[in-house]
Chain A
Amino acid sequence: MSIKSINVLSRNPDHYMRETKYDIHKVQRNYDPTLHPFEASREYKLALNSVKLEKVFAKPFVGSLTHTEGVSALCRHPSRLSCVFTGTVEGELRLWDISHKKCEWTVQAHSGQIWSIVAAPDGNSFFTVGNDKTIKKWSLDKAKEGDHDLPIDTWLSDTIVTGISHHRHRNEFITCGERVLLWDASNKAPKFSYDWSTSGDRNDASVASIKFNPVETDLFASCDYANNIVLYDTRAKEVKKLKMTLRINALAWNPMEAFILTAASEDYNAYSYDIRKLNTPDQVVNIHKGHTAAVLDVDYSPTGREFCTASYDKSIRIFRTEEAHSRDVYHTKRMFKVSCVLWSGDNKFILSGSSDHNVRLWKSKSNEKMGIMRARERSAINYAEELKRKYGHFPAVRRIARHRHLPKHIYNAKNEQQIMRESRARKDANRLKYSTPGKKVHIPARQKVVVGLQDDGVVGFQDMDNMPGTSTN
C-alpha cells in the first residue's frame, strides 16, 4: 500500500435532507462567487420581472361610496382613520365608516351646496359651510348615535361662504367667500374681516379656497377668482398677494415642509410655491403637469412627499412633490368630473368625490398588497423594490414602469396639447431669433405664469396697477 492518507468527498444525506415531511427543507448555502455565475444579468432579468409584476398587480380601485348627488366636499377625522365626512351639491351631509363602506349618518345640512367641511382639531366636532350663508357646527358623538339632525351651533354670515379652515390649536376658524372672515367660536360675530379694499385695490373677487398653515399656525393662504393667491398673518395686517395668469381653484400646504404651498390651477397645472421666496422671481418651485383639463382640488399625503390632484378631465393624478410629471393616474369608465380629493391619514388610501354621485376609494400605491404579510413575502417585496430602484434607469425597465394606460379622451387631449405647446415654443423661439438682439428675452416657464406680486410689507416692490389683466378704476 503506497497510500499515506486519503480523503474523499462523502456526504451524509441526513445532513442535507429534512428528517420528516413536517420539517422545512434544509438549504445549504455557499456564497462563493464562482458558483453563482451571471450575477448581473440574472439580477437584471429579475428587475425586469418585478417591474412587470408591478403592472400586473396595479389594481388601485378599492371601492365606492354611493351618494344621491354629486359630491362637493370631503373631510377626514383628525385622528380616526375610518371616519370621513362627505357633502353633496344638494346640501346633504354624510358620515362614513370607510373600513366597512357604510354610511353611518345622513342629514340635510344646508339648503344648497355644501362648499366645504372641516373638523375641529379635538375631533369632537366639525364645521360645514353651505350656499345658505350659514356656518354649522356638528357634534361627532351625536352623529354616531344616529337620528340626531340638528347642529350644535350655527353662525350667520351676510354673504355666501365658500370655504372654511380651522386653526390648529385655538378655537378659531376662518371662512372665505366675498370676504375673508376670522371667527372666534365663542362669538356669533366675526372677529376680523380681511378686506382688500382697505389696501387701495378695488377689484375684489370672491375667494374660492382658504387654508391655515399646519406648522406656522397664524399663517393662512387663500385663492380668489381674480387669479390671486393671498398670504395672510393673523398677527399682522400685512399680506402678500401673488397674481397668476389664470385662476387658482384650491390650495394645500405641505404638512411636513410647511413653507411649500401647492395650488391647483385652471390652466391644467398644479404649482408649488416656496413662500420664503415669494418676493423673488423664482417663487414657483415646480410646475406639476399632466392633467388635460382644469385642476379642481389638491391634497397632500401626511408624509408630505406626495400629493394628489382632482381634475375636470375625469381623472386624479398623484405627484411626487419634487417631480414635474405625475407618478400615477387613476381613472375609471364611470368616474365623471372629480371635484374633490382627500388623502387618508395612514397614507394608504385616496378618496375622490366626483359629480357622478360617488366617492371612490383608491390605494395610494396602486400595486401595494393590503393586509397582513408574512415575513418572507415582505422581504420578497422589499427585494423587488430595491431591484426596481437599482435597474430603474435601464431603458427596458423604465419604459414599463412609466407606461400608463389612459382613456381615449385624455390620450387625445394630451397629444393635442403637446402639439399646441410645441407650436407655441416654436413661435417664441422664432420671435427670439428674428427680433433685434437684446430686445426680447427668454422668460422661463415658471416665471411666465406669475403676473406679479403685491407686498404690503415692502412698499413699492411691484405695482399692481400696472399689471396686465387688472382693471383700474
Chain B
Amino acid sequence: MAKQQQKRQFKKSNKPQKFRKSEVKDGMQITEFKVNQKGRAKKKRFMGRKVVPSKLLQKYSKGEGVELKTIGRKDSCVQNKMKKKEKKIKWAEEESARAEILLTESKGQLEAEEGTYTSHITQTEIKKAVDITSAAKSFDLNLDQFGPYKMQFTQNGRHLLLGGRKGHLASMDWITKKLHYEINVMESIHDVCWLHTEVMMAAAQKQWVYIYDNQGIELHCLKQMDRVLKLEFLPYHFLLCSGSESGFLNWLDVTLGKEVLRTPTHKGRLDVMCQNPYNAVLCCGHPNGTVTMWTPNAPEPVASILCHPHPVRAIDIDHTGMYMATVGVDRQMKIWDARNLGKCLQHYTISSGASNVAFSQKSLLSVAIGNIVEVYRNVTLGGTDHAYMRHKAGGIITDMQFCPYEDILGISTYKGYSSLIIPGSGEPNFDALEANPYISISGRKEAEVKALLSKVPAELITLDPLSIGQVDIPTLKEKLEAKKALLYVRKPKIDFTPRYRMKGKSGSSQKFKRKQKVREDTQREYLKRAYSQREELGLGKKKKKGEKPAEVLDRFKPKKKVTQS
C-alpha cells in the first residue's frame, strides 16, 4: 500500500503541481496548496478525506481484480473499459469501508477481576450486573413433562421454536415473551426448524415431516421425508433438507413443494448434520468418523473427510464458512479449515464426549458436555486452555444455538429451555435488508417477496459460491490432453442418406457407391486434420534431414550401388 502511494506521488510529480506538498498525518491527508504567483495570499490548508486504513479495506475487499496488462493492447478500448470498471469497484470498496463509521452498536465484552476467571462468573452474577432489559433476556422455561427438547431461533433472532420429544410444539417471541401457539402433535418430535419467516415452521415427527403456521395449524404433511432425524433450512435457496433414520438425504424446494434430490448416504443414521452458511453445502457426520459434504446436484458427496477414528457426535460451521468444528466420541474436538479440506487446524481434548457444538456470529464456540455447556474464545487460533464461560444446566443438554444479533445462547435440555447471557457472542449491527429483528409485519411481507424473487437456484450450490462470477479457464494441461484425446479417437461415423436421383441412378448399388464416396471423403478430411495436428504436437514420425519426398517416377532411377571397401 505504502509503495503504491509512493509510486503515485512519483508519477504526479511530472505534471505541473497545483499544491506544494501532500502528506498523511494522523490519518488525515493534508495538502498544502500553492499560493498564487505574487505570493500575497496566505497558505491554505485543505484537510482531505480521511484515509481508510488498509486493514479495513481488506475486510471489504472484493478480490484482487483484473490484471490490466494481460487484457488487450495498451490503452485499448477493452483495457480502458476494464480500468473504469476496476475504479468503480475500488470506489465501492472504499465507500463501504467508510460507512463503518455509521455503525452505532458495539460488541459486548466481559472482563474478570485479576486473579479470577471469567468462567467462574455465574449467570446470576451477570444478571445482577447488566441492565434490566438484558437481564430479562436470560430466563428458564421449566418444561419437565415432554422433554427432551429441540430448539431453533429465526434468522433475525427474534423468535424461538421448541419441540419436545413427547409431542410438545411451541413458538414464541422470546424477547417480549409472547407465546404464538403451543400444541401437542400427539406424536414424537425429532427435530424442529423455521422456514424462511416466522410464520412457517417444520417439525420432523415420528413418520413424516409436517409444516405448521404461526397459529399451530398444520399446513402440509411432507410424505417425501420419512422418519427424519435432522432438519435444516437453506434460506437463500428455499430448500428444506432432511437426514433420515435410514440414511437418506433429501432436499425439498418449499416454494414449489418439489423434491430436488433424494439420495442415500449408505452410512447409517443421519442425526448429525449442519449447513455451511457460506456455500449452502450440507455437512453430515457419520458413525464411521467421516464428515461428508453434499450438494443437491450430485448423488454422491462432493467432499469427504475422515475426522475422527470414532463416531462423530456433533458438527458445526461458522457463518463465514471458514472453520468447521467436529466432536467425536473419542473426547476430541477438532477445528478444520472448511475450505481447504483435510487440514486440521486445532484439536482439543475435552473432559468427556460432547453432544453438541455451536459457533456464534463472533466465532465463540460452545460445547455441550452432558449437562454442562462451555464457551470458548479464539478456538480457531488455539491457545485457549480454559473456557470463557461455563454453565451447568438443569438437565442433559440436547440442543443449543447462539441467538443471531443477541448476546444469548439458547440451550434446550431434558427438562426445558434456558437462555444464557454470553457477552460478545452476537453481531451488534444487523443489516435490515438481510435480517431485521425489529421488522414490521408489512416489512416482513415485502422482504418475503424480495427473497422469493432472488431465490437462488439449487443448481448453483457448489463448494465455491463465487464460481459463477469467474471465468472458467481450462488449464493448459487439460487443453493438451483434450487435443491428444482427439488424435486417438475413432474416425467419425457418417450418417448420410443420398438424394433420390432419376434415370436409374438411385439403384441400391449406385446409392451405396455414392454413400461410400461421401463417407470416405469426410473420413479422409478428418484423418488429414488429425495427422497434421499430430505433427504439430511433435508426435508424428520424424523425417530424416535432407531426404526428399519420394515421387512416383523415382522407381526408374538407377539404384545406388553398394561400394565395397
Residues in A lying within 8 Å of B, measured CB to CB: 1-11, 13, 15-17, 25-42, 44-46, 49
Q: CB distance B429 to A3 under 8 Å? A: no
Range of interface residues on B (Cβ < 8 Å): 35 or more
- Which of A8, A34, A45, A46 has the most chain B CB within a 10 Å cutoff? A8
Contacting residues, chain A, for B426 (C-beta < 8 A) = 9
Q: CB distance B438 to A42 under 8 Å? A: no
Q: CB distance A46 to B60 under 8 Å? A: no
Given contacts A25-B443, A29-B433, A37-B278, contact A5 B109 (CB under 8 A): yes
Q: Tell me, rounded to whole Å, the shortest Cβ–Cβ distance linking B31 to chain A.
A: 28
Q: Which residue of A lies closest to B237 (CB)?
A: A38
Q: CB distance B454 to A33 under 8 Å? A: no
Contacting residues, chain B, for A31 (C-beta < 8 A) = 60, 96, 99-100, 431
The 8 A-B residue pairs with the shortest CB-CB distance in the complex, in nearest-first order: A31-B96, A2-B116, A40-B469, A30-B431, A16-B438, A4-B111, A30-B429, A41-B460
Q: Is B47 an interface residue (CB 8 A)?
A: no
Q: Which of A6, A11, A16, A46 contacts B129 (CB 8 A)?
A: A6
Q: CB distance A30 to B454 under 8 Å? A: no
Contacting residues, chain B, for A2 (C-beta < 8 A) = 112-113, 116, 120-121, 125
Comparing B130-138, B239-247, B282-290, B347-355, the segment that makes contact with chain A is B130-138
Contacting residues, chain B, for A46 (C-beta < 8 A) = 453-454
Total residue contacts A-B, CB cutoff 8 A: 144
* 18 additional A-B residue pairs with CB within 8 Å, beyond A28-B429, A44-B460: A1-B125, A3-B129, A6-B110, A6-B423, A7-B109, A8-B131, A9-B407, A28-B432, A29-B99, A30-B103, A30-B430, A32-B429, A33-B59, A38-B280, A38-B465, A42-B236, A45-B453, A45-B455
Contacting residues, chain B, for A9 (C-beta < 8 A) = 105, 107-108, 134, 405-407, 423, 426, 428
Q: CB distance A42 to B108 under 8 Å? A: no
Q: Is B106 an interface residue (CB 8 A)?
A: yes
Given contacts A8-B421, A45-B454, contact A40 B59 (CB under 8 A): no
Contacting residues, chain B, for A39 (C-beta < 8 A) = 466
The contact string, 1 if C-beta is below 8 Å from chain A, for chain B 508-520, is 0000000000000
Contacting residues, chain A, for B121 (C-beta < 8 A) = 2-3
Q: Which of A3, A7, A45 contacts B457 (CB 8 A)?
A: A45
Contacting residues, chain B, for A29 (C-beta < 8 A) = 99, 102, 431-433
Alpha-carbon distance A16/B438, docked complex (angstroms): 7
Q: CB distance B465 to A37 under 8 Å? A: yes
Q: Which of B133, B440, B466, B468 contacts A10 (CB 8 A)?
A: B133
Q: Tell me, rounded to whole Å, the shortest Cβ–Cβ distance linking A469 to chain B.
A: 33
Q: Is B32 an interface residue (CB 8 A)?
A: no
Contacting residues, chain B, for A1 (C-beta < 8 A) = 113, 125, 129
Q: Which residue of A lies closest to B451 (CB)?
A: A42
27 contacts between A and B (CB under 8 A): A1-B125, A2-B113, A2-B121, A3-B113, A3-B125, A5-B109, A6-B108, A8-B108, A8-B130, A8-B407, A9-B108, A16-B436, A16-B437, A17-B438, A29-B432, A30-B429, A32-B60, A32-B429, A37-B465, A38-B280, A38-B465, A41-B457, A44-B469, A45-B453, A45-B454, A45-B456, A49-B453
Alpha-carbon distance A36/B102, docked complex (angstroms): 18
Q: Is B311 an interface residue (CB 8 A)?
A: no
Alpha-carbon distance A230/B438, docked complex (angstroms): 73
Q: CB distance B131 to A10 under 8 Å? A: yes
